[in-house]
Structure 1
């Protein structure tokens, strides 16, 4: 299956076109953990062409398949844009990365996930994770028809989206969605860009923590969603990117995750930049070095 068709898969409708690609509703019926709300989705675009989405109540995947003439590697990556768990920086941390991956023969899916909210969710702590688990479940269950190898499905995320990607990587064994086919929810690898890894004071991004866990989180939730504390010998390999001058999400987040992975002998690599700040997406303007090139080499080796 390639290109710009509208087709239905097991009740899931490829519902419309966005950014020149196919959009798939994540759920075919009731969105789990939801409650009635008047919230409406909003898309804004600034003068730099960066689009931000908020108020998501109907989560979707936007699929980017390798074009005709591009060798399909069989690999797939689900991308979680960042935004402090308050918005989704859907362009430069989502669609731009997906397009480049597809050019390299990797099927990419941009996940427009629900942002944690008491207004639309019964339990906002698990809402984003439900959408991430459903995304990997959906991709694996349709891998054959989409030209994807079931053991080459990864997860990527930037900033708070990196927290979500790391949460999926460390919380995949406990399903927070229905999983009647017992489909593996474990990513085969992860790509984490300046990620929020921890909810612990001194490491975390305050806005992400508050939006996900509330203003007075329980200590058990802080620990549970501090992903450096949830790594096991079965946590997937990870490639991380972070700038040392990031004042929004300290590089100590990435360092803590790398240390936890290395403790178990798990393949991990951190591409670090002296400068770049936070939220640079594909292009760190302070350097000619391209982290994407390093990632592609790393991906070939795992």
Structure 2
């Protein structure tokens, strides 16, 4: 068990992509979710480094890695963290482990979801070509049929549902209130987070965070969870020309908070940058606090 003490719809890949293959890191605390292996798996799981961070590809076995807070600081709240990567890779460090450690340091139990991905070429040069092709094609923000978009995420939604089931089944062991389990995702992981809240059936996140994810409008039920959104005006990948997702939540009468930063680009995650987008994490925690999610269970309000 880990205790507290990239890039999604990734930035445009340059001609010389700068990816370096690395050995699969040890993940002794990762728990297999039992959602099976996709029938179209064509290459073994592989990892590479880029932008000073670690990325996973060709994930065929979904896992969940716990990052638990010091028991003295535990708030009883938990967050499932979904890294991004265009469903072709996962930014496991910048949008996964680093986020989880920061949450655990605030007393929030965090669980990094390594969800199953689309198969990609084994060779990194060929993978870079595939990323360029993906970025040149339709983006999530270009999709005009939300129902089709959600159906395309069936395997990943199944992984998220299994993650929620696991966390709630071990809530007592991990000192978690099963009614206070939320989810935060980045880019593709943000799309998965919103999809899990809308069609994840029994998952039912208590709250969700959408960090530079698509802003597509959806039909939002009147019991949708509170939503926190953060993205930059100069994103370059997700087109922030409007906020239909915000309006969908507002039309349903559900709580939503939007942070629209002047600068930050796409995939800023936990990278230190000289832009106000770096403040998103503190804003997210403060938003959780406003909803009573980061107070110690025994604390009383004045």
Tell me how far 1:185 sits from its aligned partner.
1.1
Q: Which runs of 4+ in 1 moved over 4 A?
A: 1-4
Residue 89 of structure 2 aligns to a residue in which SS? Answer: coil
1:31 match? 36
Aligned residues: 241
Match of 1:155 in 2: 183
Helix, strand or coil: the match of 2:30? strand
SS in 2 for 1:154: strand
Counterpart selection for 1:40 from 24, 39, 44: 44
Q: Can you list the C-alpha shifts for 1:87-124, whole angstroms capped at 9, x where unaligned?
A: 111110111100000000001011000013599xxx96
SS at match of 1:79: strand
Between the two structures, name the one with larger relative contact order (CA 8 Å, sep ≥ 6).
2
Spell out, residue by residue over 1:201-248, the C-alpha distance to the aligned partner (whole angstroms, 9 max, x if none): xxxxxxxxxxxxxxxxxxxxxxxxxxx223111111111101011110
For 1:185, which of 178, 182, 203 is the aligned residue?
203
- Pairs within 5 Å for 1:56-135: 56-68=59-71, 70-117=72-119, 125-135=153-163
Q: What's the secondary structure of 1:102's corresponding residue?
A: helix
Please give the TM-score of this superposition, normalised by the length of structure 1: 0.73
Instruction: Tell me how large the CA RMSD over aligned residues is.
Output: 2.5
Take 1:61 and 1:272, find their aligned partners in 2: how far apart are those partners?
30
Counterpart of 1:88 in 2: which secondary structure?
A: strand
Deviation at 1:37, TM superposition (A): 4.2
- The reply to whether residue 22 of structure 1 matches residue 29 of structure 2 is yes
* Equivalent residue number for residue 295 of structure 1: 284
CA distance in 2, matches of 1:239, 1:284: 21
1:263 match: 251
Unaligned runs of 5+ in 1: 5-15, 174-183, 199-227
Q: CA deviation at 1:49?
A: 2.5
Is 1:250 the counterpart of 2:221? The answer is: no
CA–CA distance in structure 2, aligned partners of residues 287 and 246 of structure 1: 13
- Alpha-carbon distance between aligned partners in 1 of 2:174 and 2:66, rounded to the nearest angstrom: 10
Task: Normalising by structure 2, report the TM-score.
Answer: 0.73
Unaligned 5+ runs, structure 2? 5-24, 122-150, 292-302
